Amino acid sequence: MAANIKNLIRLHEWNVDEKRRKLGELLRLQGELEDQLTQLEADLIEEQKAAAADPALAGMTYGLYAQQVILRRENLQESIRQMDIVIGHARDELADTYQELKKYETVEENRRRRQELEDARREQIQLDEIAQNQYLRKKRAAGQN
């Protein structure tokens, strides 16, 4: 039975590691989206400066650019919101998997403690038997003299 529990613990440790990797990847992807949004805002500021420097040229191109930036910003923000939801689910899955692992680890720890107590009890019985035999030998030896 101990081997079965140890196998279950290893399996659940692997599951926890997989969930952590998945969560890490999702957080990395969300970070990339946030970086893209930050870069988009920085590019917009640069384009606004360029448009202010040459209003005649900007009048023809800036409007279309601004519309594209607004659309791209909305898409990025929606993607980030969706990632928040997915990340929340991934965190919940990780927490559940971790709790399962802890259950098996607790069972194994309790089993180990019970085994240690049983081993100590058996050892004490043996020591008591040895002491009793020594006492009886001494008593017999004292009675023969």
101 within 8 A of 9, measured Cβ to Cβ = yes
Torsion of CA 131, 135, 141, 145, to 10 degrees: 150
Is the predicted pLDDT of residue 54 greater than 90, yes or no?
no
Q: Which CATH class is domain 2-144?
A: mainly alpha
Mean pLDDT throughout 60-69? 87
Domain-wise residue ranges, the chain: 2-144
pTM above 0.85, yes or no: no
pLDDT at 56: 78
Give ∠ CA 127-129-132 in degrees, rounded to 5. Answer: 110
Q: How would residue 26 be classed by pLDDT, with cut points 50, 70 and 90?
A: very high
Is the predicted pLDDT of residue 52 greater than 90, yes or no?
no
CB atoms within 10 A of CB 61: 13
DSSP structural state of residue 1: -
pLDDT at 145: 59
